[in-house]
């Protein structure tokens, strides 16, 4: 089904722009897929347990800003220092993991709906970003960091390898481990899962930590590709990650969704997005159309679940 939609989209776009399926376009799409895909994965895992993570973008920005500060404070412009870059990347990812843990703890222990808890942490961490940067943009990174988001290895963007490995990890986690089966079980019936002796608190915290890990990876790629970090970056991505997750077949009420669906969702989204670009569609109208697509995707999703 999703393959079919993807094929139709590619054909439609190619009709308008005959050289669309060229190496250059494929490569430019391939640069954008990892960040979007990782953020979508971060959103999707929480949707699998029937939750939602509205703090993904705020958390990615916080990670980006801290990474940027570590690098700009310790590495003189024009020089390079790989240990510091590695330290920055590790700290950046750990921050998003920590934000995920905070989300999970709040949701699991205070029994606050995921939406409100993550809306609250989004507000809080946006505040932290603003307090750290005082609204300024932090930029100017060493080449070794820029390499992550702006280079290719064997013709394929470096970030694509990170994306592939991360999603392989997620697929194994969901398909082959007890944790994975618990996620689907909990997502489809919370009460039954609780009565079957699953530690639901630990499950929720783990899920939000994994979500945080994916946010952290996305933050590394985003910061490297933008070559800048600031509060409020990429805020339009929040709706898009939910859109792609639902497009990829994730049930927003929990219990259903596959990694392959997420990948196809991102591909469809990128092809449609380039199509809108080729048509020179007004960017605001594009936002409205994405809203319509989200409604359609969610309707189809709900109809299929009802059957």
Instruction: Name the residues that contact another protein, by CB under 8 A.
Output: 52, 106, 110-113, 115-117, 119-128, 130-131, 134-135, 190-191, 239, 242, 246, 252-253, 282, 284-292, 294-295, 298-299, 301-302, 306
Across 190-205, b (16+ Cβ under 10 Å) vs e yields: beebeeeebeeeebbb
Q: Please, what is the minimum distance in Å from the beta carbon of residue 254 to another protein?
A: 10
**157 strand-pairing partners:** 152
> Cβ distance 190 to 50 under 8 Å?
yes
Q: Please, what is the minimum distance in Å from the beta carbon of residue 276 to another protein?
A: 12
Q: What is the dihedral of CA 80, 86, 90, 96, to 10 degrees?
A: 40
- In the complex with another protein, which residue's Cβ is closer, 25 or 40? 40
- In the complex with another protein, which residue's Cβ is closer, 185 or 289? 289
- In the complex with another protein, which residue's Cβ is closer, 84 or 105? 105
- In the complex with another protein, which residue's Cβ is closer, 25 or 53? 53
Q: What's the rounded Cα separation, in Å, for the pair 212 and 118?
A: 12
**Token pair in block for residue 7:** 């094929």
Q: Please, what is the minimum distance in Å from the beta carbon of residue 131 to another protein?
A: 5
Strands (E), the chain: 138-139, 152-153, 156-157, 228-229
- In the complex with another protein, which residue's Cβ is closer, 224 or 251? 251
Q: Please, what is the minimum distance in Å from the beta carbon of residue 226 to another protein?
A: 22
Q: Please, what is the minimum distance in Å from the beta carbon of residue 162 to another protein?
A: 28
């Amino acid at each position: 089904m999703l393959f079919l939609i993807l094929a139709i989209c590619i054909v439609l776009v190619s009709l308008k722009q005959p050289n669309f399926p060229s190496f250059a376009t494929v490569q430019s799409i391939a640069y954008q897929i990892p960040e979007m895909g990782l953020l979508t994965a971060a959103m999707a895992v929480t949707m699998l347990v029937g939750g939602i993570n509205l703090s993904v973008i705020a958390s990615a920005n916080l990670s980006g800003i801290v990474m940027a500060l570590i690098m700009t404070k310790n590495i003189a412009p024009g020089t390079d220092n790989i240990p510091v870059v590695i330290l920055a990347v590790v700290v950046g990812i750990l921050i998003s993991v920590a934000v995920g843990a905070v989300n999970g703890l709040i949701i699991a222990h205070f029994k606050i709906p995921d939406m409100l808890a993550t809306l609250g942490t989004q507000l809080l961490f946006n505040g932290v970003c603003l307090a750290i940067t005082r609204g300024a943009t932090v930029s100017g990174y060493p080449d070794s960091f820029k390499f992550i988001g702006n280079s290719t290895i064997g013709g394929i963007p470096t970030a694509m390898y990170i994306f592939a490995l991360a999603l392989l990890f997620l697929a194994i986690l969901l398909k082959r481990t007890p944790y994975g089966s618990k996620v689907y079980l909990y997502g489809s019936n919370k009460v039954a899962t609780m009565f079957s002796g699953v530690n639901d608190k630990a499950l929720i915290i783990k899920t939000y930590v994994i979500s945080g890990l994916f946010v952290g990876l996305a933050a590394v790629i985003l910061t490297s590709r933008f070559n800048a970090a600031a509060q409020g970056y990429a805020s339009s991505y929040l709706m898009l990650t939910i859109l792609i997750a639902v497009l990829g077949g994730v049930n927003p009420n929990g219990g259903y969704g596959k990694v392959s669906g997420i990948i196809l969702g991102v591909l469809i989204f990128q092809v449609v997005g380039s199509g809108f670009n080729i048509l020179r569609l007004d960017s605001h109208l594009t936002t409205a159309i994405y809203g319509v697509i989200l409604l359609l995707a969610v309707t189809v999703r709900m109809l299929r679940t009802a059957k």
